[in-house]
A and B are shown apart, each in its own frame.
Chain A
Amino acid sequence: MQPIDSPAMDAAQMQRTLDEERARGLADAEAAADLAALDAAMTRVLGRKAPFSEVQRALGGLPHEQRRDLGAAANEVRATLQAAFAARRETLEAQAEDALLAADRVDLSLPGRRGRTGSLHPLTIVEDEVVEVFLRLGFRVAEGPEIEDDWHNFQALNIPEDHPARTMKDSLYVAIPGHPELLLRTETSAVQVRTMQSEPPPIYVIAPGRVYRRETADATHLPVFHQVEGLVVDEGITFADLKGTLEAMAKGLFGDARRVRLGPAYFPFVEPGAEVGVSCFLCEGVGCRVCGNGWIELLGAGMVHPQVLENCGYDSERYTGFAFGVGIERIALLRYAIPDMRLLIDGDVRFLAQWDAAS
């Protein structure tokens, strides 16, 4: 569609123009420093008013043969230039992105942003671990009230009113008018009694909970502390079952290499009674500053006294059982090398924050 008033251009001129424009276009594309310059150069070389476009428009006025040859030449120039501009565009775009990201750099040595960290108390962590071990062994968790009556806390456990064991630990009594028998439980053992009263054997329970003594807090004593009581009553339960169960606990809490040692001890509600030592996890039982002779005395245990079974209405000839009570604070102190029990009740965040890794 060549306009009528288009200035005439002969074939030689046109060929010359194509050659010049190819050279100029390639040079301009190469010289463009940024995308804007590249766009301008492209308009200059291939735009509607560019010499190249004039040549194209002039093609229509040429004789058939010339038009065919020059047309092919013009198409080749356009393709070459378009490829050159595209290549240059790709390079410039990559450069521009690099520059943008370089400006977006962050000093990664700056502290990361994080929300407030919460944590569980070490006593909770230890209690969870103990409970977990026994859940795997098929024990169920039992609970009982913290205010107990004399019968559950003492008498049912073979500690009558005139038993000297009552003076072994001083109890905290509550002043509730008309109820002189109520006190703050001194052992979670009271839960043993409640469990046996409420269901028939077989019994496989643990009772984690808070207990109270009339004591002044010091590095190794608290007036309020926590125990996990264990009780198994079934047919054919033996002293060996007690030992094996406590071995499983020791391994669960302190590692697979732990061994357990029983020694004679007295608790009114078990017989035979045992003091249970665990081979030291720090020195592997060789003897160190913490354990002394390679063994850490960890808890008290024994075979449930037949009188206790009878007090709860069980047939003490048919059923036997074992019971144990382990102090959570004691385990926590050992496990984490905490020097003073009072740290556990102070609520100091500098102390609590140390368990972030364990929560």
Chain B
Amino acid sequence: MRVPLGWLREFAPTDLPADELAERMTHRGVKVEGILEPWAGLDGVMAVRVLEVRDHPDSDTLCVARINDGHRDVELVVGVRNMAPGDVVPWAPPGARVPGLDGPLATKTIRGVVSNGMLCSPSELAISQDHTGILVLDDTWVPGTDVKGALELDDPVLDIEVEPNRPDFLSIYGVAREVAALTGVPLAPPDLSLAEVSDRADAVATIRIDEPAACPRYLGRVIRGVRRATSPLVAQSRLTACGMRPIDAVVDATNYAMLELGQPLHGFDLARLAGPGIVVRAAADGERLTTLDDVERVLTDRDLLICDLEGPVALAGIMGGQTSEVGPTTTDVLLESAWFTRGGVLLTARRLGLHSEASHRFERGTDPEGLDRGATRGAALIAAWTGAEVLTGVAEGGATPPRRWVGVRPSRASHLLGYEVTAADTAEVFDTLAMDHRAAADDLVEVEVPGYRVDIEREVDLIEEVVRVQGYDRVGSALPRAPHAGGVPATYAQVRRAKELLSRAGLREIRPAPFASQEDLDLFGDTDAIAIANPLRAEESWLRTRLTPGLLRAVTRNQAAGAAVVALFEVGTTFRLGDPFTEHRKAGFVVSGDAAEGWDATARDLDVLDAKGVLAAFLDGFGVAAWSLGDVPPGPFHPGRAASVVVGDRAVGVLGEIHPRVAADLGIDGRVSVGVVGLSSVAATDGFTYREVPRFPPLRRDLAFALDDAIPAGEVLTAIQEGGGDLLEDVSLFDLFRGGALSAGTKSLAFAITLRAPDRTLTDEEAAPVIDAIVATVAVRTGGTLRTVET
């Protein structure tokens, strides 16, 4: 809501400067977002009389005007010629400024004619958007008068963010009420003077309300003899400053009255109604109405219609219909002032995506006591601005609801606010707000709720008023004592642990948005993704089913930015359709690029074994000892470099290099490997207990085996473990070798073997049969033959 300060001061005549007022209002919950100056840059424009308008000697479109500013005649070139000799118009002389132009105006020569400044259109003065002609002022203007001062074109405008619970701030008068309360200036009543002719409105129009719950009261004023006119310039400039577009006197008057008092008004052309009867009823399912914006609306039985005796003429509280619109030929107007209750207007407006200044107010709640006042003010303005006459009284249906009383216990206020609030304090607060109250009991103050305070329903609403008026600075500071120690659930600790392990493994965490595109889903052929019903962008059409596409996207982006190595992880949620949906927490990572650690290390690409190392460190960190790699999982993987991750007999994740063709399609250069593990599958770690640090020395042997290249190293490892029995403490691969003396299709694997007994120093004699058993088992299981033994 934009509030021109001059307009506000008509009701709350405070002399506080705008910035100080804004701060005090904000402190009171009327949040001033900014102080606008729509006319900043307007300076030196004055009224002048046009003496002569003649053709420009060297142009078909331009003309030359001679004007008088009260002292002297001046000539200038003008681009339009709607002004005539004798008219008074605004003139920006050389040196003057107007809002639309950066610098001051100057004297310049236009096609051979010296032009001094310019004549201004309404839009150049920011009075309205009209730029079709020079603004012609009325005869009362004396040449030489400063336009800015006379039209209040120097008024600051408070830009107020109105919270949805305080629709009373959606009017100048409503804001003035709060300003009066906080500054102590008296609140001036709105101007409701109205001269009525003797004919009665209720003899001309009738009102019938079929839906009293949605429209408890509806009234109409009848105005006759409307002539087409424009509204006064001050009114136009205020409407413009409030963000509304001046149209003509009738429309402007309804808007002006609405902005001033908060009551939406709608004018029907009486001649275009089928009979002067208004019916307020629910729409029939499928019923149609073409609204003012020339869109045919298909309605449901939850929508409320304003109808004449034949059919719908307006969507109640939202927008008028095209057939009954007030226009240039309108002479008689039925002015609607109604109370449409909140919910219905909001649901219809939302369903149709149709929002107006009226619906904005109705869906938040208008003052049920404000109908007469709004109608009177609107009718008076139409009469004043168009020379029309207003019939006596109103045509009406329904009734104004009685006021509610709500009680507040000062003890409860103290209990909630944490400082002492007495009955006297409470009374003082509601005196300040000009709300009636009575002491109903020892510890109970009852407050009469005015119609405009739609937010006050129960005790706590009054307690809020107490602290708002007394000031939030009254609130002290204390620290509550939780009856237990802080803690985190296992699921949260797990996420935290996963991040710690993966960052420790040399990966950087990313936190992309968890959306997916169709392409992302196609990567794995996922068909159980959850679609976003109302996405803003195609890339955000789905919730992601996996972490991998986001990780790969980050690789693409980082490589494009020149990163030589990309090693990233994410711990996040994935989503799938289920019953009705599932959410899974997963840890995923990606490695790609140069593996060299250190400036003089040999260059090498990070590959799937680097990813396996990360996976191993991750699973170790969660205490998952028994895991293995299974078959190649479905998905865009390299068929020779990918496997599912198996714990127990369950696949809990994937490890693999992305298929080189897929990686290339994604714009990724070189090998890129990912690993993903579901966090729920690594959840159950029972912790661990201390194992004795060995007291006796180990016995070490290095064994190298030659075997068929097709046999996986893992099988040899398994065989060594089997053959080694209890004395085998550790075995690790330290060399893989092909070629040399080895025949083609053969490889050599060298293992470092550690034997140890927990209770004695092993002797060579004891070790020999163990080594023999290992060699024999390897030979049986893998066909590997011992090449060397080293001690």
Contact = CB atoms under 8 A, between A and B. Distances in A.
A259 to B, nearest CB: 10
Given A147-B581, A241-B480, A245-B480, A164 B164 contact: yes
Nearest to A208: B492
Interface in A215-254: 215-216, 222-224, 232, 234, 236-241, 243-245, 247-248
Contacts of B461: 271
Interface of A: 110-111, 113-121, 123-124, 128, 131, 134-143, 145-147, 161-165, 167-168, 170, 172-176, 178-179, 182, 184, 202, 204, 210, 214-216, 222-224, 232, 234, 236-241, 243-245, 247-248, 260-266, 268, 271-274, 303, 305-306, 320, 344-350, 352-353, 359
Question: Counting chain A CB atoms within 10 Å of each CB, which of B163, B499, B554, B567 scores highest?
Answer: B163
17 contacts: A110-B599, A115-B597, A116-B506, A118-B502, A118-B504, A120-B509, A121-B509, A128-B496, A136-B486, A140-B487, A140-B489, A143-B492, A173-B533, A174-B532, A204-B480, A239-B418, A349-B508
Given A140-B486, A223-B536, A306-B458, A176 B530 contact: yes
Given A161-B347, A168-B164, A347 B482 contact: no
Question: Counting chain A CB atoms within 10 Å of each CB, which of B166, B480, B510 scores highest?
Answer: B480
Contacts of B565: 116
Interface in B463-508: 463-464, 467-468, 472-473, 475-489, 491-492, 496, 499, 502-508
A239 B581 contact: no
Given A172-B535, A174-B581, A348-B561, A162 B346 contact: yes
Given A118-B506, A140-B487, A165-B164, 9 more contacts: A117-B508, A118-B507, A141-B489, A162-B346, A174-B543, A210-B514, A241-B418, A261-B472, A347-B510
A264 B540 contact: no
A135 B473 CA distance: 28
A116 B594 CA distance: 10
Contacts, number: 261
Query: How extensive is the interface on chain B, given as a class?
Result: 35 or more
The 9 A-B pairs of least Cβ separation, nearest first, read A138-B482, A238-B418, A264-B29, A162-B343, A113-B598, A135-B486, A116-B506, A240-B418, A266-B163
B536 A216 contact: yes
A116 B488 CA distance: 30
A117 to B, nearest CB: 6
A145 B467 contact: no
B479 A241 contact: yes
B47 interface: no
Nearest to B343: A162
Nearest to A168: B164
Nearest to B513: A224
B328 interface: no
B738 interface: no
A140 B484 contact: yes
Contacts of A138: 481-486
Given A115-B597, A119-B508, A223-B536, A182 B581 contact: yes
A159 to B, nearest CB: 10
A238 B419 CA distance: 9
Given A137-B479, A272-B464, A303-B416, A345 B511 contact: yes
Question: Counting chain A CB atoms within 10 Å of each CB, which of B344, B418, B536, B573 scores highest?
Answer: B418
Nearest to A344: B511
Contacts of A248: 479
A141 B476 CA distance: 27
A237 B531 contact: no
A271 B164 contact: no
Contacts of B484: 138, 140, 204
B342 interface: yes
B510 A145 contact: no
A272 B463 contact: yes
Contacts of B363: 162, 164
Nearest to A243: B477
Nearest to B509: A121
A265 B468 CA distance: 10
Contacts of A232: 480, 482
B557 interface: yes
B164 A118 contact: no
Given A210-B573, A224-B514, A266-B164, A238 B416 contact: yes
